[in-house]
Amino acid sequence: MSMDDVIEQRLVDLEMRVAFQEHALQELSDALAASRDEESRNAMLQHRMLDELRQLRSAMATSPLTGDAANEPPPPHY
């Protein structure tokens, strides 16, 4: 094998490594973007749920349920 062949083989090996690393880096970037999207969706859902919980608490505080047991129908086993 000549020196030129050795250098060419090393260059091909390096190009293959770079191509593999670029591919792996793109996959990691895609996974990170997907994770950030999911985190954003989860944060939005959490804010919605907290708002709904606050509204329910507020509604219950302003008009508490005061049921009369006499007006309730009997349980099904009676």
Q: Of how many residues is the chain composed?
A: 78
Please report, in tens digits, the pLDDT of each residue of the chain (78 residues total).
Answer: 899 999 999 999 999 999 999 999 999 999 999 999 999 999 999 999 999 999 999 988 887 666 666 667 788 886
**Residue 8, Cβ neighbours under 10 Å: how many?**
12
Write a three-state SS string for the chain. CCHHHHHHHHHHHHHHHHHHHHHHHHHHHHHHHHHHHHHHHHHHHHHHHHHHHHHHHHHHHHCCCCCCHHHCCCCCCC
Kindly report the pTM of this predicted structure: 0.60
